Amino acid sequence: MFTFAPSVVLCSAVIIAFVSFAWAARSHFVDTQERSLGMRLVFAITPLGTLLTVATYAYYPVGLAQCAVALCLYAGSLALFWWAIRSTQASHRLSVVFSTDSPEFLVTGGPYRYIRHPFYTSYLLFWSAGVAATGALWLAALMAVMGALYWSAAKAEERKFSHSELADSYAAYSARTRMFIPWAL
pTM over 0.75: yes
Instruction: Name the residue with higher pLDDT: 56 or 35.
Output: 56
Residue 182 or residue 123, greater confidence: 123
CA quadruple 95, 177, 160, 100: dihedral, nearest 10: -20
Number of CB atoms found within 10 A of residue 37's CB: 8
Cα(7)–Cα(9) distance, integer angstroms: 5
Residue 1: per-residue pLDDT: 39
> Can you tell me the mean pLDDT for 124-150?
97
Rounded-to-integer distance, Cα 141 and Cα 89, Å? 33
| Domains of the chain in sequence order | 6-176 (1.20.120)
Residue 3: is its pLDDT beyond 60? no
Q: What is the pLDDT of residue 183?
A: 84
Confidence of residue 133 (pLDDT cuts 50, 70, 90): very high
Lowest mean pLDDT among 14-23, 59-68, 145-154, 170-179: 59-68
Report the distance separating Cα 38 and Cα 35, nearest Å: 8
- Full DSSP string of 44-66: HHHHHHHHHHHHHHHHS---HHH
Residue 46 has pLDDT above 60, yes or no: yes
Structure confidence by residue, pLDDT tens digits, 50-97: 999 999 998 888 999 999 999 999 999 999 999 999 999 866 778 888
Residue 2 has pLDDT above 60, yes or no: no
- pLDDT at position 45: 96
Residue 4: what pLDDT?
Answer: 57
Question: Given a cut of 50, is residue 17 above it in pLDDT?
Answer: yes
Residue with the larger pLDDT of the pair 169 and 29: 169
